[in-house]
Amino acid sequence: MASYGVVGNMFVQELARDGQDPPLPYIAKEDDRPTNVSSLASPIPVVDLELLFSSDGDSQTSEMDKLRSALHSWGLFQAIGHGIPSSLIDDVGKIAREFFHLPTEERKKYSKAVWTEGNGTDEIVLEGQAIDWNDQLYLLVLPEDERDLSCWPENPSSLREILNEYTKKIKVVIEVTLKAMAKLLDLEEDYFIKQIGDKATTFARFNYYPRCSRPDLVLGIKSHSDGSRITILLPDKLVDGLEVLKDGQWVNVHAIPYALIINAGDQMEIMSNGIFKSPVHRVVTNSEKERISLAMFLIADGEKEIEPADQLINEDKGQPRLYKKLKVKEYLEVFYQNFMQGKRSIDLAKV
């Protein structure tokens, strides 16, 4: 264990405030540092969720085709037609910004340990592992009766209500997406919904990336794929930063304002026997503008097993099983350790 002590307990925001260069523990290894990204013009596929269930057969088919290709080649897409009012999206951005702009002492009331609920930063687990340039507020939002409201900030005063409203909408987006994904694989429409179990949880992670005087040396979030079933990200409307690895190149995810970015997580890659990709992604910072995002992670019941759907395996047709069966909670245990080392857990699940 490294003992950088106080740095790990500090909000990145405090470090960023004076515009000083990032301290050593935040400096990424040379190979991990931000690089020039591919300049493909706005390549991230866009899918209209409403059209996926349209009664007009042609539009529905063509939208489903777009979704299939997006999940197969990118593992992520921009979702429009998601039914969340722009005003609610603006409110979410506003409360997040207000929360992260509170005096440090106020925010410390909600301090947390890593991977538990509350407010804090990345933490060094291993020698030589850089800390992400990001502060977070991490909360369980579903199921409702498992919420620990002591971790939910009361300041700004509308945070709880707005997060609750937004969560209700995201629940619908999750269901629609899971249904469409099942249909794409010729599975029963409720296949993925049943598979997550009654005790499935959804976590909200508000990310705050302060400006950084040396964006060339640090990462907002190091390269990773999500351990979730799926993730629904609300990116910053004005500031880019998310990058996805596509064919060995980092590509900037420039989102349409008010669109959501939906990606398959590792659990979905396993269950779809690799047909849907869990994309490797990271976040870069910049020296001019801070950035805020809200990621919602759908996590299946820990006691449930994850494995490729039987119907997707057919040795005779050249579709061998690519992943082993394992319990969700076993997967998540290794996920965290690997995440801190920038390693992918999904490799452990490969046959």
| List of residues contacting ligand OGA (CB under 6 A) | 205, 207, 221, 226, 233, 235, 241-242, 281, 283, 293, 295
Q: Which does 207 bind (CB under 5 to 8 A by kind): ligand OGA, Ni ion, none?
A: ligand OGA
* Of residues 196 and 261, the one with the C-beta less far from ligand OGA: 261
283 binds, among ligand OGA, Ni ion, none (CB under 5 to 8 A by kind): ligand OGA
Q: Is 337 helix (H, G, I), strand (E, B) or coil?
A: helix
Q: Which is nearer to ligand OGA, 226 or 290 (CB)?
A: 226
* Residue 75 C-beta: closest distance to ligand OGA, Å: 12
User: What is the footprint of Ni ion within residues 160-189 (CB under 5 A)?
Assistant: none
Give the position of tokens 């190149």: 249
The verdict on 226 binding Ni ion (CB under 5 A) reads yes
Question: Cβ 281 to ligand OGA, closest distance in Å?
Answer: 5
| 95, 156 contact by CB (below 8 A) | yes
The piece of 10-18, 74-82, 220-228, 297-305 that touches Ni ion (CB under 5 A) is: 220-228
8 Å CB contact between 12 and 133: yes
Taking the least distance from each CB to Ni ion, the nearer of 132 and 226 is 226
- How, if at all, do strands 221-224 and 281-283 pair? antiparallel
> Considering CB distances under 5 to 8 angstroms, the limit depending on partner class, which of ligand OGA, Ni ion, none binds residue 293?
ligand OGA
Q: How many residues does the chain have?
A: 351
Q: Of these partners, Ni ion, ligand OGA, none, which one is at the site of residue 309 (CB under 5 to 8 Å by kind)?
A: none
Min dist CB 1 to ligand OGA, Å, is: 24
The one of ligand OGA, Ni ion, none whose footprint includes residue 22, by CB under 5 to 8 A per kind, is none
Q: Rounded to the nearest 5 degrees, what angle is found at the Cα of 134, between the Cα atoms of 293 and 255?
A: 30
Q: Which is nearer to ligand OGA, 191 or 297 (CB)?
A: 297
Count the neighbouring beta carbons within 10 Å of the beta carbon of residue 154: 11
Structure tokens at 14: 């405090």
Q: What are the strands, taking DSSP E only, across 187-325?
A: 201-209, 221-224, 230-234, 242-246, 249-252, 260-264, 281-283, 291-299, 305-306
Nearer to ligand OGA, 51 or 264 (CB): 264
Among ligand OGA, Ni ion, none, what does residue 235 contact (CB within 5–8 Å per kind)?
ligand OGA
CA–CA dist 326, 200 (Å, integer): 16
- C-beta closer to Ni ion: residue 226 or 290: 226
User: How does 111-139 read in b/e, with b if 16+ C-beta sit within 10 Å?
Assistant: ebebeebbbbbbbbeeeebbbbbbbbbbb
To ligand OGA, the closest distance from the beta carbon of 241 in angstroms equals 6
Q: Which two tokens stand for residue 234?
A: 């609300």
| Segment lying near Ni ion (by CB under 5 A), choices 154-162, 190-198, 224-232, 324-332 | 224-232
Q: How many CB atoms lie within 10 A of CB 336?
A: 13
Nearer to Ni ion, 177 or 187 (CB): 177
Q: Is the dihedral of CA 338, 342, 346, 347 positive or negative?
A: negative
Pick the closer one to Ni ion by CB: 191 or 278.
278
Q: In whole angstroms, how close is the CB of 107 to ligand OGA at the nearest point? A: 18
C-alpha span between 40 and 45 (Å, rounded): 12
State in angstroms the smallest separation of the CB of 255 from Ni ion.
Answer: 14
Residues that bind Ni ion (CB under 5 A): 226
